[in-house]
A = this chain, B = another copy of it.
Amino acid sequence: MQTDEESQELERASISLAEGMHFVGEVDGFQIDLDAKEEVGGRGTGADPLHLLLLGLTGCTGMDVISILRKKRQQVSDLTVEVQGSRVDGHPKIYGYIEVLYRVWGKGIDPKAVERSIELSKTRYCPAMAMLGETAQITTRYEIEEEA
């Protein structure tokens, strides 16, 4: 959920070659190493670039969901989001299927609030959902863990 001013700004990311297939990435002032796995000529010294799309998706929708649950006054003590993606055959090997699992910990969490927050993220707020959902079938599910 972004402000209107922010949408007008240019947003940036960059990489610089280190060695082999290892690139040093920079985003928002943070350094993130990227590398290919050994079977495709890398050394695994950093994240697979495509997996950053999945990680971006978890963060984007996770921030939506925690924001909405807090606005709905749900007492959330923890939230995890796990994404699994599988690629299509052929080139380019885009994700054809992505499954998103939300796990919400707290006391007396209302399942309807969780469902609604996920729905709002998926259909209205999360740009990563919208962008990756153009090519991938994205399914969502959730689990609520009642705290003692």
Contact = CB atoms under 8 A, between A and B. Distances in A.
A129 B135 CA distance: 12
Interface string A120-145: 00001111111110111000000000
Interface size of A as a range = 35 or more
Nearest to A46: B30
Given A67-B21, A83-B12, A127-B93, A44 B59 contact: no
Residue among A15, A21, A78, A93 with most chain B CB within 10 A: A15
Contacts of A47: 27-28, 30, 32
A63 B87 contact: no
A58 interface: yes
A29 to B, nearest CB: 8
A2 B55 contact: no
